[in-house]
Amino acid sequence: MKTKQGRGRPKQVDEAAVRQAVLNQFWDKGYAGASLSELSEAAGVSRPSLYELFGDKHAMYLASLNAVEAQLNAALTALLAGAAPIADELTDFFDAAITLYLSGSIPRGCMIMCTAPAEASSDAAIRDELATVIDQIDGAFERRFECAQSCGEILPSASAKQLAHIATATLQSIALRARAGTKETMLRSMARETIHFLTKIDSAG
């Protein structure tokens, strides 16, 4: 007589791996380009499991933006801490950014800067998140330039806010160029020349 077999244990979901897989799909294909089927397949879980973890597709995308935002803020804090000359810290930050932008099987640029703008005009939540990230980058650069002014690396007559805006605009341009296939040497040269401009203009040295 056969005994009735009990159900096996439900497959445990590696939540961190699922979140990263979803993020990578949005990074590769953008919000509109990543279908639910592709998200589910990449994450290795069913659609109901994705819904249970995130909510709908829109919530999945916002969660991915928030994850990248947290990583970006950590990098800004660590690499623009004011522990080394400003030119060195800017170089380290841009070098790390370019390395990230060129990672993956194909260059993808910045997940936020390269995918959120397409949705921002019609989606208030995405627009607000994009604006928040830009403000955070501006703020981190501005504080670092103010620190450089306080220790005499850059004269007070330079506008820390405007220098920060230039640095942020350069970062955005590099991200887009990376996704468009610009060569790494060109990206690093662009960063290097911008850093030279930002740290030598009206310099106290």
- Token output for 59: 């919530």
Give the pLDDT of residue 144. Answer: 98
Give the pLDDT of residue 6. Answer: 46
End-to-end CA distance of the chain: 91
Report the DSSP beta bridge partners of residue 10. Answer: none
Give the pLDDT of residue 201. Answer: 63
Given 2.10.109.10, 1.20.1070.10, 1.10.357.10, 2.60.120.10, which CATH number is that of 65-200? 1.10.357.10
Give the pLDDT of residue 13. Answer: 76
pLDDT tens digits, the chain, 205 residues: what are they?
A: 444 444 544 467 799 999 999 999 999 999 999 999 999 999 999 999 999 999 999 999 999 999 999 999 999 999 999 999 999 999 999 999 999 999 988 999 999 999 999 999 999 999 999 999 999 999 999 999 999 999 999 988 899 999 999 999 999 999 999 999 999 999 999 999 999 999 986 554 4
Q: Where are the domains of the chain?
A: 65-200
Give the pLDDT of residue 202. Answer: 53
Residues 6+ apart with CB under 8 A from 112: 65, 68, 69, 72, 129, 130, 133
Residues 6+ apart with CB under 8 A from 53: 13, 15, 18, 19, 45
